[in-house]
């Protein structure tokens, strides 16, 4: 028996279709996140579940009971909704608002009992608003008001809690505070929430439902749904998807791509490693250069970046020296490149050949790029790498420290020889 089952529902406003053939379910005690771009129907889906919006077809079941067979009060005892924010016209106190959550339990001729008061007190305690009881709803902050609305929802003693971007008007610390409260409720309550922020959704949800163009695009765990490919397809945006260092959940970093086009028809090979090349790979890619890189270890951050950007990369397995096959792959890249960029990467025996091979390319412009002159290349080769670099410099390789300068040099067709 599922707490929520949505079976093939269609919703439209007038002639405009808002949702089409939506089918999914929520498991008992989980947090199910609904994500998707603006206009994909997230909020409407939530409204269909709280019966504020009528369906054209399909069925919604709560604990195997058809949603349409429930009375108004009965529905409010099963499902509570926390809205995004509400403007309250009259000057109610916090307790008045929370007590309204008991409305579906109190008969028309009855008034609230001691038990109703206790339930409200408990709800206010859980959401940490007990100290605000007598305050006017107008005299408290946005974060406090949102917690009051959650307390009101909890006073309904619902089996299912629906949240419509319940935290998106708040600053980060209040968002986290409220979502922590919500997560502490799970087990007892099934939560279905619309999220705008993909990272919050990834962190707090057990499963995600991704909507696109009125339809379900993907469902599953955050790892399954929040893939680089899905996000690019849905939001038409470049991102880096990485495991969060503390939680292991997917973490999405937007890439603020700006296509300047200065590098069109020019090839650049980047020799990098240890994360020193990620920004340059991104920058050159965005500027329109045809970028190759390598040789990199497949566990290297720069390798991950290259893969996310879809750049050709010569790579080796971890803890593996450079093989002759890779080296010939690198030579092919270098042969085709109009210019070569070397970052201030850490160099050991394993990747020294990356530098040595450059000595064979006397005619190619070479730029030694370091983001910060105070952190020079880490040399683990006992001076060998430094010697190679010095050799390259005497042959005309140029040191550059600013990303803008690097871009300017590369786009001017810098030859490196004087």
Partner 1 sequence: MRRTAFITIPALACTLLVSVACAAALGPTGISPGSLLSLPNAWTIIWDVRLPRVIAAALVGCALAVAGTAMQGLFRNPMADPHIIGTSSGGALGATIAIVLFAGAGRPVFAFAGAMAATFAVYFISRKRGKIPVETLLLSGIALSTLLAALLSFLMYTAGRSLHQIMFWLMGGLWNVSWDDVIVALPILVGCAGIYLFARDVNILSLSEEDATHLGVNVEGLKRILLVLSALVAGIAVAVAGSIGFIGLITPHVMRLIVGPDHRLLFPAAALAGAILLVWSDTLTRTFTNDMPVGIITACFGAPFFIYLLRSRMKT
- Taking the complex as a whole, the smallest distance from the CB of residue 97 to partner 1 amounts, in Å, to 8
The residue within the footprint of partner 1, chosen from 14, 89, 245, 382 (CB under 8 A), is 89
Position 92 contacts partner 1 (CB under 8 A): yes
Position 14 contacts partner 1 (CB under 8 A): no
If we measure between CA atoms, which residue out of 50, 60, 58 comes closest to residue 20? 58
Position 2 contacts partner 1 (CB under 8 A): no
Q: Lay out the site mask for partner 1 across 28-57 (x = CB under 8 A, - = otherwise).
A: -------------------x--xxx-----
- Taking the complex as a whole, the smallest distance from the CB of residue 12 to partner 1 amounts, in Å, to 16
The residue within the footprint of partner 1, chosen from 80, 306, 352, 367 (CB under 8 A), is 80
Contact between 148 and 137 (Cβ < 8 Å)? yes
Give the pair of three-digit tokens for residue 134.
Answer: 């007598």
Q: Lay out the site mask for partner 1 across 60-79 (x = CB under 8 A, - = otherwise).
A: ------------xxxxxx-x
In the block, which residue shows the tokens 């001729």? Answer: 109
Position 104 contacts partner 1 (CB under 8 A): yes
Which of these segments, 33-41, 98-106, 178-186, 365-373, binds partner 1 (CB under 8 A)? 98-106
Kindly give, in sequence order, each residue whose CB lies less than 8 Å from that of residue 1, ignoring residues fewer than 6 positions away. 63, 64
Integer Cα distance of 316 and 358 in angstroms: 19
- Taking the complex as a whole, the smallest distance from the CB of residue 107 to partner 1 amounts, in Å, to 10
In the block, which residue shows the tokens 């279905």? Answer: 192
For 373, other C-beta atoms within 10 Å of its C-beta total 9
Nearer to partner 1, 99 or 306 (CB): 99
Cis peptide, bond prior to residue 295, ω within 30 of zero? yes
Q: Compute CA distances 229 → 42, 161, 218, 245, 359, whole Å.
A: 21, 31, 12, 21, 39
Which of these segments, 31-39, 105-113, 121-129, 328-336, binds partner 1 (CB under 8 A)? 105-113
Give the pair of three-digit tokens for residue 41.
Answer: 């129907």
- Taking the complex as a whole, the smallest distance from the CB of residue 58 to partner 1 amounts, in Å, to 20
Integer Cα distance of 386 and 277 in angstroms: 19
Integer Cα distance of 47 and 52 in angstroms: 5
Integer Cα distance of 1 and 62 in angstroms: 9
Which of positions 133-192 make contact with partner 1 (CB under 8 A)? 152, 156
Sign of the Cα torsion 196, 202, 207, 212 reads: positive
- Taking the complex as a whole, the smallest distance from the CB of residue 89 to partner 1 amounts, in Å, to 5
Give the number of residues in contact with partner 1, rule: CB under 8 A: 33
- Taking the complex as a whole, the smallest distance from the CB of residue 378 to partner 1 amounts, in Å, to 60
Which of these segments, 20-28, 106-114, 176-184, 215-223, binds partner 1 (CB under 8 A)? 106-114
Integer Cα distance of 120 and 231 in angstroms: 41
Nearer to partner 1, 77 or 215 (CB): 77
- Taking the complex as a whole, the smallest distance from the CB of residue 81 to partner 1 amounts, in Å, to 4
- Taking the complex as a whole, the smallest distance from the CB of residue 253 to partner 1 amounts, in Å, to 36
51: left (phi over 0), alpha (psi -120 to 50) or beta: left
Position 16 contacts partner 1 (CB under 8 A): no
Contact between 240 and 226 (Cβ < 8 Å)? no
Task: List the helix and strand counts (H, then E) for the chain.
Answer: 15, 18
- Taking the complex as a whole, the smallest distance from the CB of residue 304 to partner 1 amounts, in Å, to 45
- Binding region for partner 1 (CB under 8 A): 47, 50-52, 72-77, 79-81, 83, 86-93, 96-97, 100-101, 103-104, 106, 108-109, 152, 156
């Amino acid at each position: 028996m599922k707490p929520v089952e949505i079976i093939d529902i269609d919703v439209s406003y007038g002639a405009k279709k808002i949702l089409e053939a939506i089918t999914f379910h929520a498991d008992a005690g989980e947090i199910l996140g609904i994500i998707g771009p603006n206009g994909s129907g997230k909020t409407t889906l939530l409204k269909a579940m709280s019966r504020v919006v009528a369906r054209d077809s399909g069925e919604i079941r709560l604990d195997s009971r058809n949603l349409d067979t429930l009375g108004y009060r009965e529905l409010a005892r099963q499902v509570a909704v926390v809205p995004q924010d509400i403007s309250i016209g009259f000057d109610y106190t916090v307790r008045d608002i929370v007590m309204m959550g008991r409305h579906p339990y109190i008969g028309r001729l009855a008034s609230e009992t001691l038990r109703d008061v206790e339930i409200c007190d408990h709800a206010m305690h859980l959401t940490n608003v007990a100290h605000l009881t007598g305050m006017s709803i107008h005299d408290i902050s946005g974060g406090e008001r949102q917690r009051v609305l959650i307390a009101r929802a909890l006073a309904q003693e619902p089996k299912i809690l629906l949240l419509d971007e319940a935290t998106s008007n708040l600053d980060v610390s209040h968002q986290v505070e409220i979502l922590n409260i919500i997560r502490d409720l799970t087990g007892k309550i099934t939560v279905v929430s619309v999220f705008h922020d993909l990272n919050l959704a990834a962190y707090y949800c057990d499963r995600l439902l991704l909507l696109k163009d009125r339809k379900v695009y993907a469902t599953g765990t955050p790892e399954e749904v929040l893939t680089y490919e899905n996000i690019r397809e849905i939001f038409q945006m470049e991102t880096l998807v990485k495991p969060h260092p503390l939680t292991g959940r997917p973490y999405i970093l937007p890439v603020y791509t700006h296509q300047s086009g200065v590098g069109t028809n020019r090839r650049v090979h980047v020799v990098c490693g240890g994360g020193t090349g990620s920004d340059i790979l991104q920058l050159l890619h965005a500027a329109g250069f045809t970028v190759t890189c390598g040789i990199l270890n497949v566990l290297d951050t720069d390798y991950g970046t290259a893969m996310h950007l879809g750049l050709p990369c010569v790579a080796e397995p971890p803890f593996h020296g450079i093989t002759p096959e890779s080296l010939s792959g690198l030579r092919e890249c270098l042969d085709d490149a109009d210019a070569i960029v070397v970052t201030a990467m850490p160099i050991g025996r394993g990747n020294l050949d990356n530098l040595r091979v450059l000595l064979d390319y006397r005619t190619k412009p070479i730029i030694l790029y370091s983001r910060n002159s105070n952190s020079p290349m880490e040399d683990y080769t006992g001076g060998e790498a430094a010697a190679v670099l010095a050799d390259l410099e005497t042959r005309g390789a140029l040191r550059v420290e600013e990303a803008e300068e690097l871009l300017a040099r590369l786009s001017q067709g810098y030859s490196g020889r004087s």
